Structure 1
Amino acid sequence: MKKALFIMAICMVALSSAVAQSKIEKETFVYSEKDGQELLLDKYVDNSIEYDGKRPVMIYVHGGGFATGSKINALQIKYNKHFAAQGFVSIAINYRLGLKDVEQPSPEIMTKAIHVSLEDLLTATAFIIEKADDWNIDTEKIMISGGSAGAITCLNAEYEICAERPLSKLVPAGFNYAGVVSQAGCVMIKEKTLEWKKTPCPILFMHGDKDMQVPFESMDMMGTFAAGSNYLHKQFVENDFAHWLYVEEGADHIVALKPLQYNFGEIDTFIDRFVMNGEHAIVRTYWKDEVPGSMAKMFDIVPLYMTGWEKTDEEVEAGEQ
């Protein structure tokens, strides 16, 4: 056991060193203008890495309850840089916050908030596809990842495409994501059941089974049907859809944030086996800490995230020196 922990520590040091020594460059682009807002995305890429062929893409969609949040957060940037350091084109997007300054959201306002975030993610995806030649990206290897509201947006985007709903027309005909990494997310729709007309891409569902903010199972949530990770897992098992359900037993909504720092092993394995190598598998994993993770311990568990929005990793690290 001690030997395993020692090897793990060496690997983490090596990974940290690799990221620190890499030459990751960031560029910011306006991918759309809506409701008087310039919608921005940040592209992270390490051109010093010789990637064999066109580069895969990871798009990260931030959380914040559709009311707050930004593509700029120290821990989120570390997450983006993790993929850039592997040769990916790593993207972080801003999107319209439909619940910003809303004190008591109605079902209609909630539905619209999901709609605009979904519209923006799909619009950003179409923008990235248009840049495929300039950015040397593989349009068949575009993945999305997000936590909480970001995870809801990602899962709804995949459902929109696979259910052939109206906003799916925002991306080219025949397009689908190569994989989804959902961190405490759900599909939220007005209908009371999900109808998958196309086989969804492989999905890594990560969730705490005591999450009281985004359901692990399913529930009526502000006038919408919210299908959580375990509900989707059961449906995916029944339909033989490739996926991995990663459950943190006893954990609450903290699983929306923990994977940004602690779960690269699972995420990288998912990408390698399910996305890059096309393995068809159904996996359910249980993780149980001695003391389950909790939002009450956010400052202890994800301190870099808690430095707040609009602070980069470099700014935070410079402030600590």
Structure 2
Amino acid sequence: MKNLFITTLLLLSFSISAQERFIDNAFNLQNTVTRTYATKNGEALKLDIYQPEKDTMQQRPVIIFMHGGGFAGGTRTNPAEVKFAENAAKKGYVAVQISYRLTRKGQSFGCDYKASGKIETFKLAAEDFMDAVNFMVKNKDEYGIDTSKIIVGGSSAGAEAVLNAVYNDRLMFKDPAKYKNIDFVGVFSLAGAIVDSRYITEENAVPGIFFHGTEDNLVPYATAPHHWCDPNQPGYIMLDGSRTITQKLANLNTAYMLYSFKGGKHEHSGMPFNYLPEVFEFFNEVLLNGENQQIEVWR
């Protein structure tokens, strides 16, 4: 019986040691922490912080994610986003889900809404996003965050805000220097796009993972009008989607992974749970350990 007990302990010890941080679910979760990162026009903008329990690592990478919903709906507590954050925290990340101003709530964001208004919507959401990131940077010691390893992501509208903040900061912000203390190590985009890929340079060419349907009917896969509006409609604006962004990253010798779903529409803005092992492997190898991989997968 004593030998059996010792053998069991050895097997348990081996199982724990064999788990790889940032790849395997090696931790339980702390209770989720909710904080207000900004108050704008009387609205408290909140974020939820997911952390691994009993983690001895002093500085951990952080993943900050922004939900979708056409700038009119959605929530940081969407079940899919919560599941992703919990999954990340179990692997040793600090994971953050943020709320932001839903400036189009109850209103259109389609072809009947003027292009200039769409740009302003992107700007306000990008500002909220950067303010949330800045909040986490300022509180890095409280939550054990390594500010040299900030991964940011979003879905649909959230991805548009995040990608524009990262790659089109000169278009989004009157004073981009306001966020000069923030550096991103990678992006994670689900059916996102930016205003102009020509603003991606060697200085801001952040590696990324992109999921997109080739026939997305709302956010273009390559370069096309937002919502496929006609040129004579008020909401006509050209956007550069995942295909165009990754082509620019390839030209700049920057790492990326693009999942293209042939014939897929906007449903690929949903969390790709079937592919999360590959996502976290890319996070680990490329974003955290600096490998330069350029991967394209067709489904």
Scaled by the length of structure 1, the TM-score of the pair is 0.77
Q: Structure 1 residues 243, 158: closer, same or farther in 2, change over 3 A?
A: same
Task: Tell me which structure has the larger Cα radius of gyration.
Answer: 2
Residues in 1 aligned to 2:117 and 2:105: alpha-carbon distance in whole angstroms: 11
**Segment of structure 1 superposing worse, 82-91 or 108-117:** 108-117
Q: Which amino acid aligns with 1:230?
A: R
Q: Structure 1 residues 60, 143: closer, same or farther in 2, change over 3 A?
A: same
Partner of 1:202: 207
Contact 2:27 2:92 in 1 (8 A): no
Q: Which amino acid aligns with 1:110?
A: K
Deviation per residue, 1:184-226 (Å, 9 max, x gap):
111125xx84352614221111111121111001123334331
Report the Cα offset of residue 271 of structure 1: 0.3
Contact 2:207 2:249 in 1 (8 A): no
Deviation per residue, 1:158-177 (Å, 9 max, x gap):
11348895353342x25321
Q: Does 1:272 align with 2:284?
A: yes
Q: Which of 274, 277, 289 matches 1:262?
A: 274
Partner of 1:159: 167
Q: Does 1:252 align with 2:259?
A: no
Residues in 1 aligned to 2:94 and 2:122: alpha-carbon distance in whole angstroms: 26
Contact 1:242 1:281 in 2 (8 A): yes
Report the Cα offset of residue 49 of structure 1: 3.0
Partner of 1:283: 295
Residues in 1 aligned to 2:54 and 2:29: alpha-carbon distance in whole angstroms: 6
Partner SS for 2:168:
helix
Q: Which of 26, 31, 45 matches 2:37?
A: 31
Partner of 2:155: 147
Deviation per residue, 1:257-304 (Å, 9 max, x gap):
041x222112101101111110112211112xxxxxxxxxxxxxxxxx
Residues in 1 aligned to 2:54 and 2:125: alpha-carbon distance in whole angstroms: 33
Residues in 1 aligned to 2:35 and 2:55: alpha-carbon distance in whole angstroms: 22
Report the Cα offset of residue 106 of structure 1: 1.9
Counting only pairs closer than 5 Å after superposition, residues 1-321 of structure 1 correspond to structure 2 as 22-51=28-57, 53-103=58-108, 104-161=112-169, 166=174, 168-171=176-179, 173-188=180-195, 193-196=198-201, 198-221=203-226, 222-259=235-272, 261-287=273-299
Residues in 2 aligned to 1:198 and 1:109: alpha-carbon distance in whole angstroms: 28
Contact 2:65 2:152 in 1 (8 A): yes
Return structure 1 stretches of 4+ with deviation > 6 angstroms: 18-21
Q: Structure 1 residues 24, 153: closer, same or farther in 2, change over 3 A?
A: same
Q: Which amino acid aligns with 1:130?
A: K
Cα-Cα RMSD: 2.4
Q: Which amino acid aligns with 2:48?
A: D
Q: Structure 1 residues 97, 134: closer, same or farther in 2, change over 3 A?
A: same
Identity %: 28
Q: Structure 1 residues 19, 234: closer, same or farther in 2, change over 3 A?
A: closer
**Segment of structure 1 superposing worse, 231-240 or 138-147:** 231-240
Residues in 1 aligned to 2:169 and 2:121: alpha-carbon distance in whole angstroms: 18
Partner SS for 2:128:
helix
Residues in 2 aligned to 1:157 and 1:108: alpha-carbon distance in whole angstroms: 17
Contact 1:178 1:201 in 2 (8 A): yes
Residues in 2 aligned to 1:279 and 1:21: alpha-carbon distance in whole angstroms: 26
Partner of 2:5: none
Residues in 1 aligned to 2:148 and 2:250: alpha-carbon distance in whole angstroms: 24
Deviation per residue, 1:85-112 (Å, 9 max, x gap):
1111110000011211224422222112
**Segment of structure 1 superposing worse, 274-283 or 96-105:** 96-105
Report the Cα offset of residue 156 of structure 1: 0.8
